[in-house]
């Protein structure tokens, strides 16, 4: 027998984490970020990616908690990372785990901002 689904009323707020990472290889990025999402206990609903004909790569993970997007700039050696999540704890864990990786980070790598409609 199936267990009943528990519903939770969420506040209207999104926790955003964005930074640049010195890594552009699509296969490495997919492996690293699949691992980070799993460690932070995010629920991946879908994944999509696009390889640009000349250079560049974009991927997005649709999460039950929102989404993660990556855009590469191989000519500069950097990729832009942006996580949006309605779960602050998971976003914080994602950020902490990312900061432990052996890759250089730039931009707003030290903070998570919170957006609300109020």
- Which tens digits make up the pLDDT trace of 42-93? 999 999 999 999 889 999 999 999 999 999 999 999 999 999 999 999 999 9
Residue (of 67, 17, 69) closest to 42 by Cα position = 67
Give residue limits of the domains in the chain: 14-115
Look at the domain 14-115 and name its fold. 3.60.90
What are phi and psi for residue 26, nearest 5 degrees?
A: -55, -45
CA distances from 51 to 25, 54, 97, 115 (A): 11, 9, 27, 31
Other beta carbons within 10 Å of 74: 15
Reading the block at residue 63, the tokens are 């999460």
What are 113's strand-pairing partners? 16
Q: What is the pLDDT of residues 9-48, one digit of tens each?
A: 767 899 999 999 999 999 999 999 999 999 999 999 999 9
């Amino acid at each position: 027998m199936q267990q009943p689904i528990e519903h939770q009323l969420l506040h209207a707020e999104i926790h955003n984490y964005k930074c640049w990472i010195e890594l552009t290889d699509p296969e490495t990025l997919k492996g690293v970020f699949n691992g980070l999402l799993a460690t932070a206990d995010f629920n991946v609903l879908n994944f999509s990616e696009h390889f640009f004909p000349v250079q560049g790569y974009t991927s997005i993970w649709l999460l039950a908690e929102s989404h993660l997007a990556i855009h590469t700039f191989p000519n500069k050696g950097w990729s832009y990372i942006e996580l949006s999540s309605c779960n602050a704890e998971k976003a914080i864990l994602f950020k902490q785990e990312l900061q432990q990786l052996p890759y250089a980070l730039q931009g707003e790598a030290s903070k998570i901002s919170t957006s609300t409609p109020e």
